[in-house]
Amino acid sequence: MILWNDRIVKREEVQIDIEDRGYQFGDGVYEVIRVYHGKPFQLDEHLERLERSLNEIRLALPYPMEDFKHLLQQLLDKDPVTDGIIYLQVTRGNALRSHAFPSEAKSVVTAYTREMPRPTKSLAEGIGAHLTNDIRWLRCDIKSLNLLGNVLAKQEALDNDCGEALFHRGDIVTEGSSSNVFIKKDGAWLTHPANHLILNGITRRFVMRLMADLEMPVKEEAFKIADLLNADEVIITSTTQEVMPVVSIDGEPVGNGEVGEWTRSLQNAFERHIS
């Protein structure tokens, strides 16, 4: 089933126009929300970020956010998942192709649920990461449908037998192609400040609260490639990757190449919150 504007319909019934601006320009925003044991995780936080992304690109939902929240809950009731995701997007709608905002177009909302098991094997063993140049635009804080820079980076990572690409702008490490990154160095976690160069991840914020609970110092401070390569522990965080250990970078081990102690404590704390 698909939530299509204000109706929940079969996939075959959805009609997306060839001139939908999401399709032609990537003119829209999206969210990916985790579902654990049938319940959405951090739903309000995701909807708040959606509201922010919408405002930043001067787009509005066709109804109040509260109604959207109810529609998403109805979608999940009609098409339940145990461990999965809700994907949703809002585009600027259908109009004759022309770059400037159309005067008459109505935003188009779509959402669906999908079963997606937790990445338990990688969570246990960790993944390899690959460094790549951050070629994206300068508004990475907006969860925009334009993901070409992210797509190219992720593919480059896979081509290098790695699970994630870590972006750098010059010397500074920003984030992953679909995740935020933290390093543990000199007894503290460091992560890039939440400015225009990264997406302020919902998991990033959640994990920072876990760090505080566990009395692990954490600083929102930019760090360099050399810091990443010399870190004791590295993790990436995202809705689907949770607290994912990075155990090697371009083939070089992080620390001793094993999942670190602080990472394990964070994963355990995360697990307690979702079970």
SS3 for the chain is CEEECCEEECHHHCCCCCCEHHHHHCCEEEEEEEEECCEECCHHHHHHHHHHHHHHCCCCCCCCHHHHHHHHHHHHHHCCCCCEEEEEEEECCECCCCCCCCCCCCCEEEEEEEECCCCHHHHHHCEEEEEEECCCCCCCCCCECCCHHHHHHHHHHHHCCCCEEEEEECCEEEEECCCEEEEEECCEEEECCCCCCCCCCHHHHHHHHHHHHCCCCEEECCEEHHHHHCCCEEEEEECCCEEEEEEEECCEECCCCCCCHHHHHHHHHHHHHHC
Q: Using the rule CB under 6 A, which residue among 175, 190, 192, 210 binds ligand PDD?
A: 175
143 has catalytic annotation: yes
Of the pair 92, 154, the CB lying nearest ligand PDD is at 154
Q: Which stretch binds ligand PDD (CB under 6 A): 5-13, 172-180, 185-193, 259-267?
A: 172-180
Which of 106, 121, 143, 224 does the annotation list as catalytic? 143
CB of 221 to ligand PDD, least distance (A): 18
Letters for 188-227 (x = contact with ligand PDD by CB under 6 A, - = none) are -----------x-xxxx-----------------------
By C-beta, is 94 or 191 nearer to ligand PDD? 191
Contact set for ligand PDD, span 238-257 (CB under 6 A): 238-240
Question: Which residue number, 179 or 267, has a Cβ lying nearer to ligand PDD?
Answer: 179
Choose the stretch contacting ligand PDD; rule: CB under 6 A; options: 4-12, 100-108, 174-182, 255-263: 174-182
53 contacts ligand PDD (rule: CB under 6 A): no
The span from the CA of 230 to the CA of 173, in Å, is 13
Site for ligand PDD in 32-51 (CB under 6 A): 32
User: Least CB distance from residue 70 to ligand PDD, whole Å?
Assistant: 22
Question: Which residues contact ligand PDD by CB under 6 A?
Answer: 32, 150, 175, 178-180, 199, 201-204, 237-240
Catalogue the active-site residues: 143
